Amino acid sequence: MRRTLAALSFTLTGALMATTALAGGIENMTEAERAAFQKEVRAYLVAHPEVLVEAMDALQAQQQAQQADADKQIVADNQAALLQDANSWVGGNPNGDITVVEFMDYRCGYCRKAFNEVEELVKADGNIRFVVKEFPILGEESVVSSRFAIAVRQLHGDEAYKKAHDALITLRGQPDQANLEKLAGDLGLDPAAIFEAMKSDAVTDIIKANHAMADKLQISGTPTFVVGDQVIRGYMPLDAMQQLVADERAG
């Protein structure tokens, strides 16, 4: 915060000096006059710190607007990969009028926090098409969890994947061999076959593709949601997600 304000102060000082230059004054200033001018500008900003806050708010609003415009274009350019990717599980209403895409990591605390709320959003609404993008970014345990889930889907289909996904996002403990063997057994699946499939290039390629898509969308954290042409980076409480969906429907 302090660095941002200092940088903003420097920028404002520069802008004021540039304005003076346009008026034809600064080029005729001596070094002493320049120093005095800068001192006056600093004194004004210290006396009126609200100017810095207003400028910082305006800068943030401008940056957010620029990011939103960039997001719209990137989402438009990648509609098929985001919404129709055969390698991503689709839940909710497959024919829903709104699609919500989530980039998630099983070891992400905020993904775990959002899990029940997203479930409630999709179930209560009844007309949301929900797409999950496996996006492990928090270390080897995240990668192992995603590999397990993807391998389950490849071997046993969407219903088994959903059960594995839910178990992994709520797993207490580490996704080590013992816990994954137990999870597979609880689902009535052969753990040996899943472990073998986890090593495949097909699983690796899905994770790589999701990371490549995240790079295009400038996604660096989880959870991240794509709704319509908007990219929402970070956790959203249920009421905010409901409002987002309502706004999207309203156009």
CATH number assigned to the domain comprising residue 243: 3.40.30.10
Structural domain count, the chain: 2
The answer to whether the beta carbons of residues 206 and 150 sit under 8 Å apart is yes
Map residue 199 onto helix, strand or coil.
Answer: coil
For the chain, report the end-to-end CA distance as a whole number of angstroms.
36
Instruction: Report the C-alpha gap between 128 and 98 in whole angstroms.
Output: 5
Query: Are 104 and 195 within one domain?
Result: yes
Confirm whether pTM is higher than 0.85.
no
**What confidence tens digit (pLDDT) does each residue in 94-103 have?**
999 999 999 9
**174 shares its domain with 186:** yes
Domain that holds residue 220: 80-250
Whether a cis peptide bond, with omega within 30° of 0, leads into 223 is yes
Residue 22's pLDDT band (cuts 50, 70, 90): very low
Q: Which residue(s) pair with 134 in the sheet? A: 104
* DSSP SS3 for 35: helix
Query: Are 129 and 216 part of one and the same domain?
Result: yes
Residue 65 sits in the same domain as residue 84: no
Provide, rounded to the nearest whole percent, the portion of the chain with pLDDT above 90: 68
pLDDT at 75 > cutoff 60: yes
Which of 77, 100, 135 is the endpoint of a domain? 77
Residue that has been written with the tokens 């959903």 in this structure: 162
The verdict on 109 and 24 lying in the same domain is no
161 touches 89 (CB < 8 A) = yes
Residue of 153, 29, 35, 159 lying closest to 91 (CA atoms):
159
CA distances 1 to 5, 39, 67, 234, Å, are 6, 22, 21, 20
Are 187 and 120 part of one and the same domain? yes
- The predicted-structure confidence for 222-245, as pLDDT tens digits, reads as follows 999 999 999 999 999 999 999 999
Q: Of all helices (H) and strands (E), which one includes residue 205?
A: helix 201-216
Any idea what DSSP says for residue 142? H
User: How many Cα atoms occupy the beta-carbon half-sphere of 24 within 13 Å?
Assistant: 0
End residue of a domain, out of 77, 99, 119: 77
Domain boundary residue among 16, 45, 77?
77
Residue 189 has pLDDT above 70, yes or no: yes
pLDDT in tens, 112-147: 999 999 999 999 999 999 999 999 999 999 999 999
123 shares its domain with 203: yes
* Shared-domain flag, residues 65 and 85: no
Q: How far apart are CA 122 and CA 226, in angstroms?
A: 14
SS3 at position 224: strand
Q: Looking at the structure, do residues 108 and 47 belong to the same domain, yes or no?
A: no
- Residues in Cβ contact with 195 at an 8 Å cutoff, skipping those fewer than 6 apart: 151, 177, 180
Domain identity same for 240 and 180 = yes
If asked whether residues 71 and 86 sit together in one domain, one would say no
Note whether 67 and 112 are same-domain residues. no
